[in-house]
Amino acid sequence: MTTFDDRENAYEAKFALDAQLQFRAEARRNKLLGLWAADLMGKADAEAAAYAKEVVASDFEEAGDEDVYRKVAADLGDLADEQTIRTKMIELTAVAKKQIIDEL
């Protein structure tokens, strides 16, 4: 039974690590998205960082990415269309995951 218990514990540890990495990557993606949107709106430095924090915080309203999309889309208005924002979210997800992995 020890082998099975060890295997079970290893799978549980991997699942927990994967969930933690996914959470960190989504938060990083949201921060990067916020900085990108802030740049489009002409915000810089502290104002851009504060806006990025708002975008990260908006992710806690509901499960999934729609809350983040709605926030950024509403704030950007005519500066970016839906396809541009969603494409940028996908691109930044890959960037965020790479950054997180590189930090490990």
pTM for the structure as a whole: 0.87
Model confidence band, residue 50 (pLDDT cutoffs 50, 70, 90) = very high
Whether pLDDT at 63 is above 90: no
Model confidence band, residue 93 (pLDDT cutoffs 50, 70, 90) = very high
Q: What is the pLDDT of residue 17?
A: 87
Distance CA 15, CA 28 (A): 20
Q: If 0-12 CB within 10 Å is exposed, 13-18 middle and 19+ buried, where does residue 69 land?
A: middle
Closest CA to 85 of 100, 75, 99: 75
| Residue-range domain boundaries for the chain | 24-103
Model confidence band, residue 33 (pLDDT cutoffs 50, 70, 90) = very high
Closest CA to 87 of 41, 35, 33, 9: 33
Q: What is the pLDDT of residue 1?
A: 60
